[in-house]
Amino acid sequence: MPIDHDATRLAIARLAARLFLANGVAATSGKDIAAAAGVSERTVWRHFRTKESCVEPLLSQSALRFTQHMLGWSRLISIEDHLSEVFALDRQSESDIQDGILIVRLVAILPKEPDLQATWLMASHLGERGLVDIIAARLDRSPDDFDIRLCAATVSAAMRVVDEDISLAAIERGEVFTLADVVSRMARAIRAASTLPFCDPLPLRKPNQSAPDPTQIRP
C-alpha cells in the first residue's frame, strides 16, 4: 500500500533538491538521497516511484499552500487583496522561505535538467486539481463541470508560466523582485487566464437563493 506520510516525503524532497542542485540529477543516485536523508534506500523507493519525483512534494508545496489559503478566501475580497494578505512576509515561516528559494532554484535549472520537467508538470497538475475545487466552491458549481475544469487548467498554467518566468529572471539574470511585484504579476496572470469571473468579490448567497448567474462562459 502506498504510504504518504507527508512530513517524511517533504524532508526527503528538501535533501534531494539540494543534491540535484549541487551535483545535477544524473550524478545523484537514490543511494545518495537516502544517505542524505538518513533513511534506507528502501524507504526512499517506498515513498517515491522515481528519483526525479523525490522533489515533487517540494515543487507542489507552493501550489498546495496556495490552494490551502484559497479555501479561506472570503467571497467579499478580490484576488489581489487576498494574495497580498496571504503572502505577506510576516506570515511566512522560516522554512516556507527556505523552501521557496529551493523551488525557485529548481525551476531555474529545468531547461538544463529535462528529467525534472515531468515532475514539475506533475506538480503543477496537482495544483490544478486543487484549483478545481476552489473555483467550483467560489462559483457554487460542481467540480465536475467542464467549464470549471477548463478555468482551473488555464489559471494553473498561467501560474506555472509566471513561476518559470520569475525563477529564470531571478536566478539567471539576477533580477530582484519585491513581494508586491510577485503578487501583482500573479494576480494579473490569473485574471488574464481565468475563463470564469471568480477573481472579484461575489455576492454572498444562500444555497437555495437564485440570482442571475455571471458564471456562464463567454460565447
Partner DNA sequence: CCTGATTTGGCAGTTACTGCCAAAACAATG
Partner DNA sequence: CATTGTTTTGGCAGTAACTGCCAAATCAGG
**122 or 182: CB nearest a copy of itself:** 122
- How many Cβ atoms from other residues are within 10 Å of residue 159's Cβ? 21
In the complex with DNA, the residue whose CB is nearer, 51 or 160, is 51
The C-alpha atoms of residue 32 and residue 128 are separated, in whole angstroms, by 32
SS3 category, 51: coil
Task: State which amino acid sits at residue 214.
Answer: P
Q: How far is CA 137 from CA 41, 48, 72, 73, 208, in A?
A: 41, 32, 11, 10, 15
- Shortest Å distance, C-beta 16 to DNA: 11
What does residue 153 show for φ and ψ, rounded to 5 degrees? Answer: -65, -45
- The listed partner (DNA, a copy of itself, none) that binds 146, CB under 5 to 8 Å by sort, is a copy of itself
* Joined grid coordinates for residue 97: 522561505
Closest contact distance (angstroms) between CB of 80 and a copy of itself is 12
CB of 173 to a copy of itself, least distance (A): 13
Question: Which residues are at the interface with a copy of itself (CB under 8 A)?
Answer: 49, 115, 117-119, 121-122, 125, 146, 149-150, 153-154, 156-158, 160-162, 165, 188-189, 191-193, 195, 217-219
40: partner contacted, choices DNA, a copy of itself, none (Cβ within 5-8 A by kind)? DNA
